[in-house]
Structure 1
Amino acid sequence: MITLIFTNPFYLWLLVSIPFLIITHFFILRYLKRRAIKFANFEAIKRVTGTKFDLKNVRAISKNRAILVIRVFVLLFLIFSIAGPILWYSGQSSEFDFVIAIDASSSMLADDFMPYRLDAARKASSLFVESLKARTRVGVVSFAGTSFVEQDLTDNLKNAEDAINSIRIKRAGGTDIGSAITTSSNILLREEKARVIILLTDGQSTVGMPVYEAIEYANKNHVTVNTIGIGTEEGGTFIKGDLLSKLDEPTLIEIAQKTGGKYYKAENEEELAMAFDDISSSAEEKIPIDLSMGFMMISLALLFVEWGMINTKYRTLP
């Protein structure tokens, strides 16, 4: 899917100046026409062409429509340029910004992973960061009843690993997946690169922002969310075996599908590692192209064309 957005849409109001440009163009031409008629030598024209000219039947003066069209496009591309046009499309990219969002709610203490889910998530995430190319930027978010920025975007991968390994179970009750997605998206908004969230959770969103609102927010900001479901079908117990936590796949599948990402089910550490490997080599992501400079160059090129035309074929003689 291809989408064109403007980072400074306020400047699009300048498009209302185009009708004024057109009106001004014809007003000036009308003035020049009257001046040309005033000083024209009609008798000399009649002797040469055999045609009688007067103020009522002069139709030969050009309206310079080509000049007008060029000027309209110059103004149009100039306005588009300052409005900050960004073209987003799905394709291959070698430059990504990642945010790893790790569920740190009490259900991540479930023992269907050894020793428990959170420990497996930390290990796999740390290995993933370690395998990334130099200058790749990574942010880290943990979440339970609310979300926490453990590490802002950084190309210091050691700092990102340390942030991942420092994540502990949060005291805030519940699991707010919606907040995790919006917080992670906000971290990614500072740069116009392919934006990817890796969400590791058991999928049980119990409090906070509705998931559908978070999906809309991610799509609005061209963020791809890859979800990894940690847990087995049988589930695991936590808090001294009194509670049972099972993987909630439908929620994670919905998030991935609606944001252009993929869903991965990880029932053991090997599948968890395979999920990260596939994400790092994923071919399709949302990629931005900044069109501002391109529109500016087109505008300048048309200005040179217009300058050449008004000084040659379309030159107005006194």
Structure 2
Amino acid sequence: MTEQLVFADARWLWVLLPLYVIWALLWWLRPRLRQVAAKRDVGGDAAAVAYSSLGHALRTPRSGTLTARWLVSALRLLVVALVLLAVMRPQTGRALTEVSTEGIDIVLVIDTSGSMRALDLDAHERSLSRRRDRLEVAKGVVETFIAARPNDRVGLVVFGEEAFTQCPLTLDHGVAATFLEQLEIGMAGDATAIGSAVGVATKRLKDSDAESKVAILLTDGRSNAGSLSPLRAAEAAAALGVRLYAIGVGTRGQAPFVVETGFGPRVVYQDVEIDEETLRRMADTTGGAYYRAEDEAGLEQIYERIDELEKTEISQESYMEYEERFAWLVAPAVFLLLLEVVLLDTRLRKLP
């Protein structure tokens, strides 16, 4: 909220300002014209009555009292200036903005099964020992996505062999980020129950009053657990107005894994098996879309694309609230005028 000073009747400036300037010039020139007239009288008609010269008196320096009287009289200029400004009705206005948002409810469905240990998404790091697994890469990207949507409620569903709600829908994104950071591989089992995960997300969204309800599924495999099939889960989501975006993560071909052996940790390569056909059909059923991310940069681009597709509607209405401030000018003008009257009628009084 910002404040600004405006004049409601500023048009008076073009009428009053010239008159004020003329009046001020005449006030300033009046004593000088009197001096010129006095000098003319001194050197006037020779036939006039002779009297002593006043030239020395005219050249006498002005006393402090006379200077003070002149300065007090000059207060009238300031008084009139203040009154003229008051006539233009100064006002202070505050710009008020009302913003109403229509947020989106988003449930992030994240795979924490054993296959998320693969080290293929962190491909820019050449050393396998320094690479992050799929889950750690996904957590960083998802956290950025959450931070970019301050007006939306966000929830987390975690799945492996089982599926459960890690964080309910909330506008407190700090809490959501904390729960996200706590995700660990295997916390829901090593298998992949995609249908159950989408079912839990749909249950979380079914009672939502949001205009748009979205579930974003991130997985790196195919469904091999759970009592609810992925396609049935997608149909249920579509029936309840939930739009599903499915993301398959993992390189094409084989991905490196670090496994513990009797001789210490070893790197092995395993085939990447993502059921893209099922994920695509799930997304299409709900009006969403399927994406494939083969590295961290690709995953970031996918979440950015979803962020652009699912925009929060924000309406903004601005208006000004004004308060009259002419009293700020009238009060000092009255005070200065009274001060002038008192001084010129007492200490600085001019005797006949």
Q: TM-score, normalised by structure 2?
A: 0.52
**2:192 is equivalent to residue 165 of structure 1:** no
For residue 299 of structure 2, what is the aligned residue in structure 1?
272
Aligned partners of 1:181 and 1:168: how far apart in 2? 19
Give the number of the structure whose alpha-carbon radius of gyration is greater.
2
Aligned partners of 2:240 and 2:209: how far apart in 1? 10
For residue 98 of structure 2, what is the aligned residue in structure 1?
none
Q: 1:223 aligns with which of 228, 236, 242?
A: 242
Matches within 5 A, 1:63-142: 94-114=102-122, 115-134=132-151, 136-142=152-158
Q: Please, which runs of 5 or more residues in structure 2 have no aligned partner?
A: 1-100, 123-131, 260-267, 313-352
Q: 2:277 aligns with which of 236, 242, 250?
A: 250
For residue 179 of structure 1, what is the aligned residue in structure 2?
196
Aligned partners of 1:180 and 1:159: how far apart in 2? 21
Superposed displacement of residue 235, structure 1: 3.3
Counterpart residue identity of residue 167, structure 2: Q
Aligned partners of 1:140 and 1:165: how far apart in 2? 11
For residue 232 of structure 2, what is the aligned residue in structure 1?
213
Matches within 5 A, 1:137-148: 137-148=153-164
Residue by residue, what CA displacement relative to the aligned partner does 1:201-228 show, whole Å, maximum 9, x if unpaired? 1141111121121112111211100011
1:281 counterpart SS class: helix
Superposed displacement of residue 144, structure 1: 0.1
Residue by residue, what CA displacement relative to the aligned partner does 1:119-153 show, whole Å, maximum 9, x if unpaired? 1111111110011133x100001100011211000
Q: TM-score, normalised by structure 1?
A: 0.57
**2:288 is equivalent to residue 261 of structure 1:** yes
Counterpart residue identity of residue 157, structure 1: H
Query: Does the Cα contact within 8 Å between 2:220 and 2:249 map onto a contact in 1?
Result: yes
Aligned partners of 1:236 and 1:180: how far apart in 2? 24
> Aligned residue pairs: how many?
192
Aligned partners of 2:154 and 2:201: how far apart in 1? 11
Superposed displacement of residue 176, structure 1: 0.2
2:252 counterpart SS class: coil
**Percent identical:** 32
**2:168 is equivalent to residue 149 of structure 1:** no
Aligned partners of 2:120 and 2:274: how far apart in 1? 10
Q: Please, which runs of 5 or more residues in structure 1 have no aligned partner?
A: 1-92, 286-318
Query: Does the Cα contact within 8 Å between 1:229 and 1:265 map onto a contact in 2?
Result: yes
Query: Does the Cα contact within 8 Å between 1:203 and 1:251 map onto a contact in 2?
Result: no
**2:252 is equivalent to residue 233 of structure 1:** yes
Q: 1:282 aligns with which of 298, 303, 309?
A: 309
2:288 counterpart SS class: coil
Counterpart residue identity of residue 277, structure 2: P
Counterpart residue identity of residue 273, structure 2: K
Q: 2:213 aligns with which of 184, 195, 220?
A: 195
From the superposition, tell whether residues 202 and 95 of structure 1 become closer, same or farther in structure 2 (CA, over 3 Å).
same
